[in-house]
Each structure stands twice: as structure tokens, then as C-alpha cells.
Amino acid sequence: MDRRTVWYDYLFKLLIIGDCGVGKTSLILRFSDDNFMASHLTPIGIDFKLKTIDIEGYAIKLQICDTGGQDRFFPITQTYYKGAMGIILAYDCTDEKSFNSIRNWMQQIKMHANKNPAKVLVGNKCDRPDEKISTEQGEALARELGIKFFETSARTNICVNETFYHIAKDIKNKILGEALGATRIIRVQKIEEPAKKKGYCV
């Protein structure tokens, strides 16, 4: 099998947070592996995936950390806020409690994260017929928080890639404009299997 040389320019660390069961792991798996599993084990503390993407000619390697989303994991996840350059706040469109928890998660970011990480709000499971949180409610909360809003479905792959590409581009713009401290990689070489071509929202 042919192998290829992969170069990347920047390493961006992303954190995805939200209540347990909102679909954080499913979003990551859909983006990184183009895969969806209806059931899977909740991560014990922190799990992560790696994926390299192209943003305006820059090869960006994303390290995406997936939190457990439960109170007993906070002592672990707090240490990951500090290194996160981008944070995705996720709720379940069928679960009002997870939506109402977003402000609490935002407070966690303010308490523990580096100054002004890139942020995005995600309403996941928008394909479900039992949706309880409307698009308008999600948009209103995003305006209140001053961040971008996406409705996604990991199951049917609605705007999952668009979400990750948006936050990566936001980080890239911050890095180039404000020097937030991304790891700049000069001619890093890695050997891996050829990547499968995947489409994404634009």
C-alpha cells in the first residue's frame, strides 16, 4: 500500500464540553473518522482524536479532547481548559436541562481557560423529531454569549465538519492576528496511510 508524507503548520488543541449524553463523542467520531455509533462507552475523564485539515493553505492538526461531561470528572477536565485554544459548547436539542447548563459551562471556561479562546455553541441531535430546543432559542443564546451557533447531527452528518472548520479558522485568525501561542511546526514530517476524501459543509 502506498504511503505518503504529511506536513502540518500548526497544532490546535480543541475541547468539547457539555452535559453527559449530548453527543460529544459522537460529534468527534463523525468529524475525525466519518463514523457514527448509536451506543458507546462514556469516556473516563478525557479521550481525544487527531485530524489534520487544510485552512486557507495552512495544514492544521487538530487535537480534539472529549470530556466525560459528569461532575466527578471536573478535577480532570479543569486542567485541559488551560491548554484549549478552541472550545465547543454542546447541548442536546431534545434535552432542556443540557441547554440550560450551557451558561454554567461558560462560567467554567471563564474560571479555568486561557484568555479568550475561540468558542462555538452547538445544538446537537437536530435531526430528532422530539426536538425541544428551537433554532431560535439556540441562536438567541449564542447572541447572548457572543459566539457562533450551529445545529448539528452526528447521526446524519449535518454541519459537523462545518463546525470544526469554523472554529479552526477562528483560531487561525486569532493566532496570526494576536499571537495566542499556537505550536508552530516547521517542516514536521510524519508517515501515515493515505487519507480518504471526505466532503464537508461550506
**Residue 4 is placed in which grid cell?**
505518503
The 10s digit of each residue's pLDDT in 46-79 is: 678 999 999 999 999 999 998 765 555 666 667 7
User: Domain-by-domain residue ranges, the chain?
Assistant: 4-192
The 10s digit of each residue's pLDDT in 68-108 is: 655 556 666 677 888 899 999 999 999 999 999 999 999 99
Largest CA distance in the chain: 51
Sign, Cα dihedral of 139, 142, 148, 151: negative
**Would you say 21 and 95 are in contact if contact means Cβ atoms under 8 Å apart?**
yes
DSSP letter string, 102-118: HHHHHHHHHHHSPSS-E
Q: State the CATH class of domain 4-192.
A: alpha beta
**Would you say 149 and 166 are in contact if contact means Cβ atoms under 8 Å apart?**
no
